[in-house]
Structure formats: structure tokens, C-alpha cells
Structure 1
Amino acid sequence: MNPNPRQLLLLHAVQAQGSLTVDQLADKLGVTLQTVRRDVQRMADDGLLTRFHGGVRVPSSTIENIAHPQRENLHAEGKARIARAVAAEVPNDCSLILNIGTTTEAIAKALMQHKGLRVITNNLNVATILSANPQCEVIIAGGVVRGR
């Protein structure tokens, strides 16, 4: 699921408060109770929220409960800004370490035009992304990933 802007506002409101009632969310978002219930149900189905009678709360371990595609889309604009800023600071012909996380995957995508990089990572998604750059050597725990 790609949360729409209203659903992202709903998610951020619940994350900020820990839990909210459906009535509170409807007032906060300026939408009907039915709209909130529908959004909450979709987000609960995707593991982003936990429903309870009359309300919703953040799951006990939110990030672990969110599937990778949803984590990629969560705060995507912020991750893209971070990735652009990092890529602007990384010179060509250098070595760097990128660890686990969807933000580092966004950084890997932003580094695709760099030359002479040596990237050490434990993130197979980062390795896969950067292996498409023939100007980048990617090193992971099992050895060197060769470009295509």
C-alpha cells in the first residue's frame, strides 16, 4: 500500500500521540468517520497501525511489522532529500560504507552517477542497486559483487 497524503497525516498523528480515537482522527483530518475507519482498516491490514474498539494505536514494534515495500514508501520524500544531500557530499573515487535500511537504499540510487566508488555494505538491496553501476565496486560479506 502506498499511503495517500491523508493516510500519512493519520499515521503521523497516531505516531505522535501513541493512540487516538476514530472521532479524534475525523476531527483532526476534517473527514467523516467512515473515511477514517476505511483508512484505518487499510493501514491496519498493512501492519502500519493496530485497531482497538473505537480507535487505533501504533503497533508495539512498528518498523519490524512493516513490510519492505511499505517502509520504502514511508517518508519517501524525506529519504530522497537525504539521499540527494549525501550524494552531493560524496566525491568520486572514494570508499564508503552503507548499512541496512531503506534510507541507505535511496542513497545508493542517488550514487548511481558516481565514478570510482568502493561501497562496502551488508544490505543486499544496496548491493543490487549499485552493481548496475560499472564504475562502482560493491563489497558484501560474501565477497565482491560483479556488475552486470
Structure 2
Amino acid sequence: MDSNIPDDGESLSKSERRRTRILQMLMSGATAQIRDLAEALGVSLMTVHRDLAALEKEGLVRRLRGAVSAEKSLLFESSYNYRGRKQVEEKRRLARAAVARLEPGNAVVCDDSTTTYYICDFIEEMTPLTVITNAVPILERLKTVPEIDLIAAGGRYHAGYNGYFGAVCERTLRSFHVDVAIMSTTTIQGLSLFTPDEIVVRAKQAMMEIARRKILLADATKFQFTALNYVAQITDFDLVLLTGDVPAANLEQLRKAGVAFELV
């Protein structure tokens, strides 16, 4: 397992969700007023100060006279690791179930998510495979694995997502046709998938276009978030693998929409 993604198996608490959101808000490199963060999150100044103190202790942010900014040298790498620490066991269950749906000889495209990363723990069971990805952790993990033909979807490196994005990445992806896309999502709202960043949207949509079958991986926390940018409908996926305590109302909505899903 990658040492940059510790296996703590914790559930994402309310405070951790806020802190992840704070990191997302600061990833542009801008300085934010702490009072504005409190208003955007709908919490008290005291609550935000507690969250910022925890993030500052991890070396992610710097507070100065009522404002906060990202630590430029540490934020982007650490924000990926921060997300990667959460729901590790759930992510591994999802990844194991996804790999079980592959067949030797398949060509597979994988997105940059910290969930999809964990296919690396199981993928040797299904080799030989061709794997295409824009995710640096997956490239690093699989580059020495026998019988995997590894293809990097290049482009402009984005440290916050630890992957390659942009026009070059999208053109590269669209030059292939693959058997399976394995993807995750920031959030599921109703029957729609959303993510905070437009560049991630475009890469994910390119992956969906080139895949004969599409598998979505999502733990229960994905139904708790909101995000700005629309990615796709959940009905666009051939199989949705879910884990954790997914609300019964959400499961019923998926059933009524005819979504093929499994709890793992």
C-alpha cells in the first residue's frame, strides 16, 4: 500500500468534511477571510478556528490577522493525502469488487480518485491488462507490475489532485477505446454526479466516452456532499458499486431509476 495514503479506516466525521471543504476552497491559492469561511460553511467563527488549527497543525494552512491561506509548499500534496486517508477499508472493498468485474486482456481506464487508487491492491489477480490513467499514484504503483501495459494520459500536472489534466490529457484519452472505465465521484445528488473542479469534469467525461462499460465506485459519504460542477448521470454507468450505510431513500431512488447497483 502507498505510504502516502495511511490505512486508518476512519469514517469521515462532520469536522473532517468541513476541513476537506476548507482545503478545496483554498486550493486556488487565494487568501480567504476566516469570517467568510464561517459564513460559507454555515458554522460559527469558533468552529472554523478549531478546524483551521487542526489543518495548521498538519502543515496545510497558515493563519494571519483574520485571514487564512494555503501553505504553498505543502497544501496540494497533502490535500490529496488528506482525502486518501478517509474510508480506506470502504475504498478497498469497492476496488476489490471492481477488479472482480475485469477479465484478463481487458483495457481499463481509471480516474484520479483516491478510491480508484486501491484497485492497485488487487489488479495483479486479473493480469494481463492494459491500464490507462491520469493518476500519478496509480502510475507509480503499477509501473513495475508484470503483465500490465501501463499508459499515462499526459497533460498539465495538478498537484492538488496528483494527476494530469487539461486539453492534452483529454485528447490522449479520446485516442483510445477501452473495455472498462473505473471511476469515482466527489458527490451524488439525486441521480447526478458533481465535482468541485471543471478540469476534473472534462477528464472524467472523456473517460466515459471511450469505455464500453462504465463502473462507478462510491461509499456512503458521497451522498452527503454538494459540489459545483455536473459530471454525469448515475444512470450513465453500467454498474454502481456502493459501500457503507447508504441511506435507504437513496437506494430506493436508484432502484426506481433502474440503476444497476450492488452493495459490497
Q: Is the 8 A contact 1:7 1:39 kept in 2?
A: yes
Quick one: which of 89, 102, 123 aligns to 1:112? Answer: 123
In the alignment, the residues of structure 1 paired with residue 18 and residue 79 of structure 2 have an alpha-carbon distance, to the nearest angstrom, of 20
Structure 2: gaps spanning 5 or more residues: 1-7, 132-137, 149-264
User: What is the TM-score when the length of structure 2 is the normalising length?
Assistant: 0.34
Residues 32 and 69 of structure 2 are in contact (CA less than 8 Å); yes or no, is this contact kept in structure 1?
yes
Q: Cα distance, 1:90 vs. partner?
A: 6.5
Candidates 55, 66, 71, aligned match of 1:59: 71
Q: Partner letter of residue 116 of structure 1?
A: T
- The alpha carbon displacement at 1:33 in A equals 0.7
Question: Which amino acid letter does the alignment assign opposite residue 63 of structure 1?
Answer: F
Partner of residue 32, structure 1: 44
Query: Does structure 1 retain, via aligned residues, the 8 Å contact 2:23–2:79?
Result: no
- 2:188 — aligned with what? none
Asked if residue 123 in structure 1 is aligned to residue 134 in structure 2, the reply is no
Structure ranking higher in helix proportion: 1
1:77-92 matches, within 5 Å, as 91-92=103-104
Work out whether 1:9 is the aligned partner of 2:21: yes
Shift of 1:118: 6.2
Aligned partner letter, 2:76: I
Check whether the contact 1:95–1:117 (CA below 8 A) recurs between aligned residues: no
Q: How far apart in 2 are the matches of 1:10 and 1:31? A: 12
Measure how far apart 1:46 and its partner are. 1.1
Structure-2 separation of matches of 1:116 and 1:15: 37
- For residues 80 and 36 of structure 2, what CA distance do their matches in structure 1 show? 30
Q: Are residues 58 and 90 of structure 1, via their aligned partners in 2, closer, same or farther at CA, if it must alter by over 3 Å?
A: farther
The TM-score normalised by the length of structure 1 is 0.54
Aligned to 1:42: 54
Radius of gyration: which is bigger?
A: 1
| Cα deviation digits, residues 85-114 of structure 1 (max 9, x gap) | x96997513689x9xx967733414x5374
Q: Is the 8 A contact 2:105 2:130 kept in 1?
A: no
Aligned residue pair count: 123
Q: 2:46 is aligned with what amino acid? A: Q
Alpha-carbon offset, residue 34 of structure 1: 0.8
Please identify which structure carries the higher strand content.
2
The whole-number CA distance in structure 2 between the counterparts of 1:23 and 1:122 is 40
